[in-house]
Amino acid sequence: MEAIATLKTPMVAQTSKNTGFDQLHEQVQRWIYAQGWPGLRPIQDAAVSPILSRKSDVIITAATAGGKTEAAFLPVFSQLVTHPGKSIQVIGLSPLKALINDQHRRLAEIGEGLRIPVNAWHGDIASGKKKRVLENPAGVVLITPESLEALFVLRGTQLAELFKDLQYIVIDEMHSFIGSERGRQMQSLMHRVELVVGKRVMRVGLSATLGDMSLAAEFLRPGHGDGVQLIQSGGKDQDIKLQIRGYVKPAFEDDDDVDEVPKDEMDLQPSADAIAIAGDLFKALRGDKNLIFINSRRQVERYADLLRYMSIERRVPNEFLPHHGSLAKELRQEAEDALKAEDRPSNVICTMTLEMGIDVGSVKSIAQVGPPSSVASTCQRLGRSGRRAGESAIMRVYISEPEVTPSTPITNSLYFDLVQAIAIFTLLLEGWFEPPIIGRLQLSTLIQQLLSLIAQQSGVRPDQAWDFLCRTGPFAAVDQDIFMELLRTLGHHDLIQQSQDGLLLLGIKGEKQVNHYTFYTAFATQDEYHLVSDGRTLGSLPVRSPLVEGMFLIFAGRRWEVMSVDEHRGKVEVIGASSGKAPDFGGSSGFVHDRLRQTMYKIYLSDQIPGFLDETARDLLQTARQQFRDQGLHQTQALEDGRSTLLFPWRGSVITNTLFVQLLDRGLKVQNQGVTLKVNGLDGEGLRSHLLELLNQGPADPVELAAAVKNKRNDKYDRFLSDDLLCRNYAASHLDAQGAWSVLEELLESI
């Protein structure tokens, strides 16, 4: 590692005159003594008083393994010992079943000595255990939003008794919910719990990384974010070691040769840069415990296969195991257990499945293949390393860029992946993170919550439904006019109907939706094939992924041949093989913030070479900067490329998409390529005239602009929305008309 940088954590935690430890119940104090702790961490000390007082909601932020769980639950347990109840007193919401299992193991140990039950509740928990909780509700229940949704639908009349003594709602990994359908669902469920029990219940949010804390507070308590108390980790600076390693993907000398090679066969042959990256991973990581993050499940499988065969060739045990959401739970557990085993070196190749707080012990370093997706995600992953006293957090990023030849496209020669990785490290060291995304209508989730509310109460009046979900609930951006239009379109689709006395009831199709097992998730789930080998389930693949007999696959880090495909049962039988290719799991690119794109632009303009680049990465950066200047991009934001023009807004996903839609609406043939917009069949002067007209027209009406978008049905229940509601919903999530209009003047000055 060539570079050491210091990342400072904010010192915001405040303590009362009496230490937090002194305020804890003596039985909790005894548990702390029994662990051999020298004392509470500053953030744990600071959290005791506000959580015990329950005067305001609280957000606790700290690095991974920073003691957030104990910061919340030590005072929670003290409160429960002091004030026992006759129902469930704490709801712990978590995004992953694996996280719940991990938290249950840790918290049940504390609760056992205090005689406070701690129960896990999700789809994998046996029905018998759930029945016992319902018969004798008490203590803490750790649950996913989906399982809590199921309680509302299936046991709506029992909830008042089940939660009558509820004191806390604790949200683990809160950042993972913000801005998503699940996040809005969770907000609605928390609000509905309070309606059921008839009182305000204290909310405690736990998170490793959050950008704008005021937005995070508004997420935790919509409409009252200014009353949320923020407790952030303080203390010593942490040394982190960062390095970006560069690789060159050789260009084919004769493009005609490429066409002669079947695409599937090309996929079976690892590229030279991939082999080089795998070789360096093997050399640098083998013999220790490390996490290797890759942005796609397909690439996880490719590198797991490469590293496994490197181990076979060298006749050494394979220490490289895959971990992603499509693998069977048992295989994921094997990888997690390997990391926890103290006497066994292991390297787990994973997607974001191991980004969150599942306890996998201490790892020596983090590797990232391909550019990180965001600053917040990078910080979250980095926090997995350097947990032990005196250790630095270590992260290596492996970036491959193509060799530049006269035939290399302009955008490929600018090395966006490398520059994005540099920009993310730059912002990370500045202590900046992406702010939470708020302000979306999320009408699909509103449909789900409305159907759930009707099922819970066996009918609800329209004014009550709007009051519960919108006026006082998390869908505050939905006014009465939009809500009434939503009711009409749901009635048109027979999801709801209205009784003679005015109650909203479930229609025939609504009953089918609510009674289907997929209803409890706010996000769309896809049909899947289950891969089975010799009676053992390996995992699943989306049905849209083509699978035929005789096909060769890489899955779970191994190579397989497809022997049979049972479409009716969704079952695929495979046997071991000597060849294979990684399947397409689907997925989409993530949200990019404006500041990240603008930081990339500054990097191109700068002459400084960051100290965290290896020699190849430095050379690649110099090449990218030279290409940037040779193309004149230091002076213009538009380039003519053959019969097309490339537009460089240097803005994030939303503004770039807004400009894209505006140009489409003018009848232009445009491609959104992420960093750039490619306008086909138009020269620079022609593009300038269109941009000038857009500027002179003033900010566009976002709802009218959304009508130009054909594929607005992105979320689970969007298919039930009218065209007008689809446009309103899309505009609130994907368009920033004012921001795009502000950028137009800047673009025109540089073209």
Residues 226, 228, 229, 231, Cα dihedral to 10°: -110
The amino acid occupying position 697 is: Q
Number of Cβ atoms within 10 Å of the Cβ of 731: 24
- pLDDT greater at residue 18 or residue 748: 748
Mean pLDDT of the chain: 90
The set of residues, in sequence order, having a beta carbon less than 8 Å from that of 683 and lying 6+ positions away, is 640, 645
- pLDDT greater at residue 637 or residue 529: 637
- Give yes or no for a contact between 669 and 679, defined as CB atoms under 8 angstroms apart: yes
Residue recorded with tokens 């809590």: 148
- pLDDT greater at residue 512 or residue 434: 512
Burial class (CB in 10 A: 0-12, 13-18, 19+), 471: middle
| Share of residues in the chain with pLDDT > 90 (%) | 71
3-state secondary structure string across 216-256: HHHHHCCCCHHHCEEEECCCCCEEEEEEEEEEEECCCCCHH
Residue 253: pLDDT band by 50, 70, 90 thresholds?
very low
**Interval 327-353: pLDDT, tens:** 998 999 899 999 988 888 999 999 887
Burial class (CB in 10 A: 0-12, 13-18, 19+), 263: exposed
Torsions phi, psi of 677, nearest 5? -115, 125
**Interval 59-94: pLDDT, tens:** 998 876 678 899 999 999 999 999 998 999 999 999
Report the pLDDT value the prediction gives residue 435, as an integer from 0 to 100: 85
**Interval 350-394: pLDDT, tens:** 988 787 666 677 789 999 999 998 998 898 888 888 777 678 889
Report the pLDDT value the prediction gives residue 350, as an integer from 0 to 100: 93
The token pair at 11 is 């010192």
Element housing 660 (H / E): helix 653-665
The token pair at 106 is 């840790």
- pLDDT greater at residue 203 or residue 14: 203
Long-range interactions of 512-520: CB distance < 8 A, separation 24+ = 513/451, 514/153, 514/451, 514/452, 514/455, 519/149, 519/153, 519/448, 519/451, 519/452, 520/146, 520/147, 520/149, 520/150, 520/153
Report the pLDDT value the prediction gives residue 209, as an integer from 0 to 100: 67
Half-sphere exposure of 250 (CA within 13 A, CB side): 10
Q: How far apart are CA 572 and CA 177, in angstroms?
A: 33
Q: Which pTM was predicted? A: 0.89
The set of residues, in sequence order, having a beta carbon less than 8 Å from that of 739 and lying 6+ positions away, is 594, 651, 654, 655, 658
The set of residues, in sequence order, having a beta carbon less than 8 Å from that of 152 and lying 6+ positions away, is 159, 189, 192, 452, 453, 455, 456
**Interval 91-133: pLDDT, tens:** 999 998 888 988 999 899 999 989 999 999 998 899 999 999 9
- pLDDT of residue 148 exceeding 70, the answer is yes
- Give yes or no for a contact between 506 and 455, defined as CB atoms under 8 angstroms apart: yes
**Alpha-carbon radius of gyration of the chain:** 27
The set of residues, in sequence order, having a beta carbon less than 8 Å from that of 154 and lying 6+ positions away, is none
Q: How far apart are CA 538 and CA 540, in angstroms?
A: 7
CA 590 from centre of chain: 9
- Give yes or no for a contact between 65 and 142, defined as CB atoms under 8 angstroms apart: no
3-state secondary structure string across 266-277: HHHCCCHHHHHH
Report the pLDDT value the prediction gives residue 11, as an integer from 0 to 100: 36
The token pair at 717 is 């229940």
- pLDDT of residue 262 exceeding 60, the answer is no
Q: How far is CA 686 from CA 32, 647, 674, in A?
A: 71, 12, 22
Q: How far apart are CA 599 and CA 650, in angstroms?
A: 9
Residue 412: DSSP 8-state:
H
Average pLDDT of span 179-204: 95
Q: Nearest CA to 354 among 367, 336, 370?
A: 336
- Give yes or no for a contact between 732 and 712, defined as CB atoms under 8 angstroms apart: no
The most confident of the ranges 100-114, 203-217, 413-427 is 413-427
Average pLDDT of span 234-258: 71
Burial letters for 373-401: b for 16+ Cβ neighbours within 10 Å, e otherwise? bbbbbbbbbbbbbbeeeeebbbbbbbbbb
Average pLDDT of span 446-467: 97
Q: How far apart are CA 458 and CA 157, in angstroms?
A: 9
Q: How far apart are CA 342 and CA 346, in angstroms?
A: 10
Q: Would the CA dihedral through 701, 702, 704, 705 be positive or negative?
A: positive
Average pLDDT of span 412-422: 97
- pLDDT greater at residue 16 or residue 602: 602
Average pLDDT of span 715-726: 95
> What are residue 59's DSSP bridge partners?
205, 230
Q: How many residues belong to the chain?
A: 751
> What are residue 553's DSSP bridge partners?
560, 581
Element housing 78 (H / E): helix 68-82
- Give yes or no for a contact between 220 and 174, defined as CB atoms under 8 angstroms apart: yes
Residue 471: DSSP 8-state:
I
3-class SS at 600?
helix
- Give yes or no for a contact between 195 and 467, defined as CB atoms under 8 angstroms apart: no
Residue 258: pLDDT band by 50, 70, 90 thresholds?
very low
- pLDDT greater at residue 245 or residue 544: 245
3-state secondary structure string across 549-594: CCCEEEECCEEEEEEEEECCCCEEEEEECCCCECCCCCCCCCCCCH
Report the pLDDT value the prediction gives residue 579, as an integer from 0 to 100: 83
Report the pLDDT value the prediction gives residue 257, as an integer from 0 to 100: 41
The set of residues, in sequence order, having a beta carbon less than 8 Å from that of 705 and lying 6+ positions away, is 658, 661, 662, 665, 731, 735, 737
- Give yes or no for a contact between 447 and 486, defined as CB atoms under 8 angstroms apart: yes
Residue 743: pLDDT band by 50, 70, 90 thresholds?
very high
| Share of residues in the chain with pLDDT > 70 (%) | 92
Torsions phi, psi of 261, nearest 5? -95, 125
Residue 1: pLDDT band by 50, 70, 90 thresholds?
low
**Interval 542-594: pLDDT, tens:** 876 677 888 898 999 999 999 999 888 889 999 999 888 888 787 666 789 99
Q: How far apart are CA 231 and CA 227, in angstroms?
A: 13
Q: Nearest CA to 285 among 309, 315, 307, 314?
A: 307
- pLDDT of residue 483 exceeding 90, the answer is yes
Residue 266: pLDDT band by 50, 70, 90 thresholds?
very low
DSSP 507-551: -HHHHHHHHSGGGG-SS----EEEEEETTEEEEEEETTS---TT-
Q: How far apart are CA 287 and CA 310, in angstroms?
A: 14
Residue 697: pLDDT band by 50, 70, 90 thresholds?
very high
Residue recorded with tokens 């379109």: 489
Report the pLDDT value the prediction gives residue 354, as an integer from 0 to 100: 81
Report the pLDDT value the prediction gives residue 381, as an integer from 0 to 100: 87
Average pLDDT of span 688-708: 95
3-class SS at 38?
coil
- Give yes or no for a contact between 582 and 641, defined as CB atoms under 8 angstroms apart: no
